[in-house]
Structure 1
């Protein structure tokens, strides 16, 4: 899920059930200022505000000593094991500094919970646009739209081309058996969420999809660095034209594993003209259905040319189903956190109906009703 945008936004003042402002659960400004002063030196100007976009980790915009910074931390409350690992996110971003992968500057990482009550990290803020609900007017011509898609695919190929041993990520995970473990991991995330959400409603189709994925998981796969949440609204484009992709965000799910899981995830969010109505309209941009944007097939063709890998219809059936299954699992986790009062995000309660719709989409992809 995306957490970054170029817009500043206003600090959230929504209150929790006990009357506490939500931002007060995320940051103690005095403690954060003390931490930054100790690490970066004192500064006369300091300001912190919550970025209202994003549905996973929390993002805070900080002005400090003339620098524009971003703080990333988990949401408050209990979360599923391994979810929201911001220090893992920082580690991979820090390792990739200086590679062909465009990234914000990494600044600090902190595991001292006396500061914010959770792990967090600090990075530099990047100027530009995230294409979330609409395209910038300057991109609204066919040539620029085509380049948006090409930049997106080329950057994914760059991620998958990183020498992960050479940048110090050899111990970042176990790439062997990655895809099989993905199926198991996300099944466990469902189980965690269902502990609470099943009291409100059940999603029986998930068991059917889980079984199909377990039966069709590839026996082997290439081994690369994978982003884990790569899609159009997790990258940023520089101001001006032609479109230039200048930052990739949201590395919390990065690992060593199967690159086609990233490709399937990206494709699951990409819209072609004539596609069915989205199962999660709040999370689905539709502007790429306009003239000039590459089709999913064209994106795959460019990826294959850049990497030498193949991604056929059978691959797409598995990897795009897995992608939608993962999105459904994230949605069910969101729904649990809403029911427990651990988020003020208006998206979370919609997952009561959105997750069943995603489960139905999984079955349509399996049945060949939503082809590449």
Structure 2
């Protein structure tokens, strides 16, 4: 387990909520930020706030070095082949939409197929729905096994020569399922398809090597990995990105502009129209430094231990339903029988425990699970077994209270 010194680097956790010490179990929605990331953002705004790339003055040079230095850090963090494959965007949603609209609309036509899973976040469903409407392509969904995993046999059956895109989350934000991305990518490529991976719930929590996985596109967000909101990354193989058109046009992404035609900068800048997310990139770079200092293997091991401990303790509560496989990432989605998830979350909040309740932007999965909503506790490197113990005690009190009410 990671020691208490890690938690102490997150100032927001040192507070009381509703007269109880804060227990933050909502990192799958957004993670908290260590002091080093906060300091990096403050330093940018206080010491060298400036636009990037074209300025020749000192502040502009420092800003450019910070912004492009962050790109180098991302490249190393996910083992991209080149900085040309690392594009800064507003987040996972924007990154997937960019692939859908730039690659999908251009490459797909009537009769082509897009293969998804039923556990996808809305951000990895709706863009493909829109592409299918425009191109005449068909959406196909991999079925879920009873435990919330997918079967590679089903992948082999569903992915055919008609398949042009396979879109899949690396880790489910509801079930905690860790999908076999490398194996799915191999099947996709054998059938001439590309694979687009939503890595929002994986990059913060485990080592990700995009070359080892052999993915074509991979998207993730900074705010879930100790970085600031409003910035994320689209990784794409260089040869694919070079043959894609930008989806936003204006400053920064141009090479030459004439009255009736224009040309674009080389990768990665042709996809970064407008003033870029400079502070966000610098904050993301600081977050990567922090995560590297702690160690991704140590973080993954820590979260696995917490998830296993949470499952063991929560399964001892009568009248609780837990969703997802035994082997999972660091989150547990559950319902207390006869208690609405929002009531559960509200009751826990009164005890200073922050969990998330709702459909978690996965309404098709909720229908598959035959529920309207669930509660979710998600863990990160700053959580401990003590947090899990307080969650379990809070759930017992919640169950008791609503048992008395009804």
TM-score > 0.5 by shorter chain = no
Which bracket does the TM-score occupy, shorter chain normalised?
under 0.3
Larger CA Rg, structure 1 vs 2 = 2
TM (normalized to structure 1)?
0.27
Structure with more relative contact order (C-alpha pairs < 8 Å, separation 6 or more): 2
